[in-house]
């Protein structure tokens, strides 16, 4: 099977993108996706995303983690796929698509991609830890000197704890620097730290506001892969009008031949 693809990254969170409107990516298996995402034996990426036809919207997003499994919403991947759709001529300055968690709007403004995220109504607090779902489930926990933290060890300890090991959870470690938040994320499905996580920084921004650590509703986030912003409005039931804002960058395109 010959697969045409384009490689993208959003603040260091990298993806293999495939235009699957013609059905070129078929008879896929978890093993094939895992191979393509492998950084030694494949293209290398945190995940693989299919752009597919949608009967009413501009397109459909189907996301797989690098372990080969179809997963929940990916914010940076959604921004990268929007840029890909624009390059393909599917959308121009704005559009809408369906992902596993519902419908998302996207807009291009000032060279950045603004991705609409779903409302967040359920937030659980436990001391300096917040648990919430921003399209994917996240733990947000405060940390000192986050740059020196062993994210692999600390992330695995929470992700595989008795509370979360059955379905898994993403783990975000946050250090506050005035009104800017330094974030490192351990992602389930990748089972390692990624350079940034879109649903993760969205979770962090909302959690920091809910904890009273910022009053801003446009929050600056620094990740190892770059800077992102999250904009939102506080509502009676939680948080709405949420946007993940940041760059989406094409890296290269190519063709790979592999067995399905």
Query: Is 198 in contact with 244 (CB distance < 8 Å)?
Result: yes
Closest CA to 119 of 254, 208, 251, 238: 238
* Count of C-beta atoms within a 10 Å radius of residue 66: 27
Selected catalytic residue, list 37, 80, 197, 258:
197
Task: Please tell me the distance from the alpha carbon of residue 14 to that of residue 65, in angstroms, as a whole number.
Answer: 11
CB 5 within 8 A of CB 256: yes
Catalytic residue (choose from 37, 74, 80, 258): 74
Distance CA(86)–CA(154), nearest Å, equals 38
Integer Cα distance of 6 and 19 in angstroms: 9
The 3-state DSSP class for residue 147 equals: helix
Here the tokens at position 4 are 């045409």
CA distances from 246 to 10, 38, 82, 150, 201 (A): 7, 26, 12, 26, 11
To the query of whether residue 258 is one of the catalytic residues in this protein, the response is no
Quick one: 76 exposed, middle or buried, by C-beta within 10 A (0-12, 13-18, 19+)? buried
- Residues whose CB falls within 8 Å of the CB of residue 165, separated by 6 or more in sequence, listed in order: 159
Active site residues: 74, 197
């Amino acid at each position: 099977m010959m697969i045409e693809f384009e490689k993208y990254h959003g603040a260091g969170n990298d993806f293999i993108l495939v235009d699957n409107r013609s059905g070129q990516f078929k008879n896929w298996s978890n093993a094939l996706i895992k191979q393509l995402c492998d950084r030694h034996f494949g293209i290398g990426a945190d995940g693989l995303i299919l752009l597919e036809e949608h009967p009413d919207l501009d397109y459909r997003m189907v996301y797989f983690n690098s372990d080969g499994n179809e997963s929940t919403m990916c914010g940076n991947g959604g921004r990268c796929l929007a840029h890909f759709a624009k390059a393909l001529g599917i959308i121009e300055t704005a559009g809408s698509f369906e992902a596993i968690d519902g419908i998302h709007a996207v807009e291009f403004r000032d060279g950045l991609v603004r991705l609409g995220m779903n409302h967040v109504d359920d937030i659980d607090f436990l001391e300096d830890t917040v648990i919430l779902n921003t399209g994917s489930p996240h733990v947000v926990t405060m940390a000192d000197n986050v740059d020196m933290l062993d994210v692999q060890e600390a992330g695995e300890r929470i992700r595989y704890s008795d509370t979360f090991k059955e379905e898994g959870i993403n783990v975000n470690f946050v250090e506050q620097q005035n009104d800017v938040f330094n974030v490192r994320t351990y992602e389930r499905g990748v089972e390692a730290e990624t350079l940034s996580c879109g649903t993760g920084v969205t979770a962090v921004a909302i959690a920091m506001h809910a904890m009273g650590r910022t009053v801003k509703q446009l929050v600056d986030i620094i990740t190892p892969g770059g800077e992102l912003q999250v904009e939102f409005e506080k509502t009676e039931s939680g948080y709405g009008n949420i946007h993940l804002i940041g760059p989406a960058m094409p890296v290269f395109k190519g063709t790979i031949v592999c067995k399905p």
